[in-house]
Structure 1
Amino acid sequence: MKGWMVMAAPAALVFVGAAGWMAFRGAPDAPDDPAVPVMPATVDVAQGETLYADSCASCHGANLEGQPEWRSPGPDGRLPAPPHDETGHTWHHPDRVLFQYTKLGGRAALALQGVDFDSGMPAFGETLTDQEIWNILGYIQSTWPERARRVQAERTAADLANGGN
């Protein structure tokens, strides 16, 4: 099962593996509130990988490794970009939070949660479509080990059950 997660695998194999994971994961029912974003039942993992390389890798690393000392604030008070692989905390968050953080940027996404903090994460809502953001998130999630994907899917389901609150 882990063979399809190897970064050097052909894009078709990555897409097939991720599609199987999405089917296994199941697309949760969308809450009644249209403001709560829900990952589509299908994503283009190959496009997500390309978009990640173009839009995210300069900060989060070509191999999703993040910046050094990502848990320690820099002189400006901002935290360096965290890893998006299983060593980071990305998989600890539900899809809604990951989507909002990417689309709106860190400050605006955190404000939705009642937190006043500038994380330094820029907003990509003006440069990427919603589907492109989901494709990037689908790519990132496709690289996680099964346990991390399962835990993250459970957190997403719980978040949806609470209407995104």
Structure 2
Amino acid sequence: MRRTSVLFAMLGVGTAGLVLAWGWPWFAAQMTGGDSSAGTIALGKALYAERCAACHGAKLEGQRDWKSPLPSGRMPAPPHDASGHTWHHPDDVLFRITKEGPAAVVGRGYQSDMPGFGNVMSDEEIHAVLAFIKSTWPEEERRYQAEMSRREREPIQ
């Protein structure tokens, strides 16, 4: 009986090790909202420089006085670094804002200078830009944003 217990214990540890080894990349990707590989982040950085930096800043700093409306009544581009509010939003919201534009999320006739990028970037490219932005945040902000995204994906009970 004792030999059987040891055998089952070893089998359990071995199985847990295999699950962790094979499942860790998937789990890590889920915690960061997608693929967070160095290649994806590098692609996102290049796309950010090409498509986003003109408004949101080369260092993700956003436009000056980003919390105050412009003379047009529209809001300036917010920062995407830790000083902004990007990390307060779950992945699905960030993706939709980027793909469809802020008005798609805010509604009520909201007008923004930011277009949707769904017609110029693929879903994978949008995810890469978001992975780059998230890679610049401190650990606490990344953890908070990952938790918000996880909660958003949970089924309502």
Shorter-chain-normalised TM-score: which range? Answer: 0.7 to 0.9
Give me the whole-angstrom Cα distance separating, in 2, the residues matched to 1:145 and 1:41: 18
Letter in 2 for 1:102: T
> Which residue is equivalent to 2:3?
none
Change (3 A) 1:42 1:127: same
1:155 and 2:148 equivalent?
yes
CA contact (8 A) 1:25 1:153 kept: no
Change (3 A) 1:152 1:73: same
Give me the whole-angstrom Cα distance separating, in 2, the residues matched to 1:103 and 1:26: 20
Change (3 A) 1:23 1:83: farther
Give me the whole-angstrom Cα distance separating, in 2, the residues matched to 1:118 and 1:155: 26
Find the partner of 1:79 among 75, 92, 95: 75
Give me the whole-angstrom Cα distance separating, in 1, the residues matched to 2:136 and 2:36: 16
Q: How far did residue 41 of structure 1 move?
A: 4.0
Q: How does 1:120-131 map to 2 (within 5 A)?
A: 120-131=113-124
TM-score w.r.t. the length of structure 1 is: 0.72
> Which residue is equivalent to 2:134?
141
Give me the whole-angstrom Cα distance separating, in 2, the residues matched to 1:143 and 1:42: 12
> Which residue is equivalent to 1:62?
58
Name segments (4+ residues, structure 1) moved above 2 Å.
Answer: 22-26, 39-43
Identity value in percent: 49
Structure having the higher helix fraction is 2
Aligned length: 130
Give me the whole-angstrom Cα distance separating, in 2, the residues matched to 1:74 and 1:80: 6
Q: Of the two, which has the highest radius of gyration? A: 2
Find the partner of 1:101 among 97, 104, 111: 97
Change (3 A) 1:25 1:154: farther
Change (3 A) 1:162 1:75: farther
Give me the whole-angstrom Cα distance separating, in 2, the residues matched to 1:138 and 1:154: 15
Where in structure 2 are there 5+ consecutive unaligned residues?
1-24
Change (3 A) 1:23 1:84: farther
CA contact (8 A) 1:106 1:120 kept: no
Change (3 A) 1:134 1:26: closer
Q: How far did residue 121 of structure 1 move?
A: 1.6
